[in-house]
Amino acid sequence: MVEKEKEEDSLMVQSEKEEDEDDDDDEVGPDEYVVESIRSHLVDEDTGELRFEVKWEGYEKASDRTWEPEENLETASKILNEYLERVGGKEAILAAWQEKKDATKKGKKRSRASTGAEATNGTKRGKKNGHPKDQSPPASASKAEWKPPTGSWEEHVTGIDACEGNDNNVVVYLTWKGGHKTQHPLAAVYKRCPQKMLQFYESHLVFKKNDDMADGE
């Protein structure tokens, strides 16, 4: 009889422990941030990697949104899958991007061939007149919008310029190698470059001398 009661008590303790662990898993820590929704997507022209524009829970400004690779959205797989279903799927996105990329390459080749022929004809006409024909150089293609790298930012960020906002919505201003400047939610900066964030705080520490302790000495 006593052994049976001990066994029941042990099962009750184990059940309570599992419930506590489940409750802990549902809680979000103060330094964690939660994906509220995915607003759009793009494909990195250099790497061919798909990135998603993330709206973070508690951050309402458009400037607080960040571009994240799929690997950073493991905890928001349901939101990610729902978004991919709405836009036709990951494979369809990448296929459309590749098709557009190939078409752009073909267009550039035709454009270069045409420009070369015009330049040759122009030079010949210029020689007839005794001087080269003035030609304006072709306009360079506009550079793609710069985006922060994936993974750690420690080696890419040269410094943190400032932090502003209230306790629930702090924005951090970063300067990158190459002179690019961006702004991000505090939680994102803590995750990507915690050492840079620590250095920023240390550089702004103010030490005050305790006058009472000095008098006592």
**Taking a C-beta distance cutoff of 8 angstroms, is the pair 176, 192 a contact?**
no
DSSP secondary structure of 30-76: TT---EEEEEEEEE-TTT--EEEEEEETT--SGGG-EEEEGGGGGGG
Q: Which structural domains are found in the chain, ordered by start? A: 22-147 (2.40.50.40), 149-217 (2.40.50.40)
- The pTM assigned to this predicted structure is 0.41
Side-by-side strand order, sheet with 157-166:
157-166, 169-176, 181-185
DSSP code at position 27: S
Cα of 83 vs its chain's centroid, Å: 18
Task: Tell me the mean pLDDT in the region 132-157.
Answer: 66
Task: Tell me the mean pLDDT in the region 29-54.
Answer: 85
Residue with tokens 């799929």: 70
Angle at which helices 90-128 and 77-87 cross, to 10°: 60
**Average pLDDT of every residue of the chain:** 75
Note the pLDDT of residue 193: 92
Amino acid at the residue 156: H
Instruction: List all residues 6 or more positions away from 63 whose beta carbon is below 8 Å from its beta carbon.
Output: 171, 183
Task: Tell me the mean pLDDT in the region 151-160.
Answer: 90
Distance CA 58, CA 51 (A): 21
With CA atoms as reference, report the closest residue to 168 among 185, 183, 143. 185
Amino acid at the residue 34: V
Cα of 209 vs its chain's centroid, Å: 42
Note the pLDDT of residue 48: 86
What does the pLDDT look like over 58-115, one tens digit per residue? 999 988 899 999 888 989 999 999 999 998 988 988 888 888 888 888 777 666 666 6
Distance CA 205, CA 211 (A): 19
What pairs with residue 68 in β-bridges? 52
Distance CA 126, CA 132 (A): 4
What does the pLDDT look like over 6-40, one tens digit per residue? 555 555 545 555 555 555 444 555 557 899 999 99
Note the pLDDT of residue 134: 47
Residue 152 has pLDDT above 60, yes or no: yes
**Taking a C-beta distance cutoff of 8 angstroms, is the pair 170, 190 a contact?**
no
Distance CA 12, CA 147 (A): 53
Note the pLDDT of residue 178: 84
